[in-house]
Amino acid sequence: MGPIEVLWFAVVLFFIFVALVRGYPRELGVTTVIFAALFLIHFFLGRYFDALLRPLLNVLDISPTARGLEHFKATFYSVVFLLIVFSGYAGQTFTFQGKERKGTDGLMLNLLVGLLNGYLVAGTLWYFQHAFNYPIADFKGPDGRPLFFTMPLSPLATQLVKILPPAVVPDILWGGLLMLMLLARVRR
């Protein structure tokens, strides 16, 4: 595979296409769920995960290596985040009320909300990799080449890491954004 930013841009593009198909009222509902996920993961899990993990490892009599622990944490955070995001898309979705705009205005809103959701999802998954020293880079194919992306990071990727959602937005602000979205959803 290539640099991580290529993978990141591909995920963002996927979310833009999804938003174009589903429309911004439904995608804003998913944005609300993403804000909730980010608040729960960063505000609560980020604070208490290690304190809960240590006793569990002691009870199970498991002594992982430092790198094994990084793999576990990156995977755990990513899976929890993706399960919450998936729940925003599955079943009856959290849709914003109102009449969807047509034409260029509607198209632009769909693009912007898709771009936002893609940035939030792809950026958060990348952030988890960065926070735990890119454990996904350890996976190699039969020929010894990386399966997902190459290390070290390119100069562009090094700059993009600085603007990943959890790196830019303080933990408590995710809760504030969630509250704003909920207020916007329930207002008539």
- Domain residue extents for the chain: 4-186
Q: φ, ψ for residue 152 (rounded to 5)?
A: -75, 170
* Burial (CB count within 10 angstroms: exposed 0-12, middle 13-18, buried 19+), residue 52: exposed
Report residue 135's pLDDT band, with 50, 70 and 90 as the boundaries: very high
What pLDDT score does 64 carry?
83
pLDDT higher than threshold 90 for residue 10: yes
Mean local confidence (pLDDT), 125-138: 94
Report residue 1's pLDDT band, with 50, 70 and 90 as the boundaries: low
Q: DSSP labels for 115-171?
A: HHHHHHHHHHHHHHHHHTT-GGGG-B-TTSSBSS--SSPPHHHHHHGGGSHHHHS-H
pLDDT higher than threshold 80 for residue 94: no
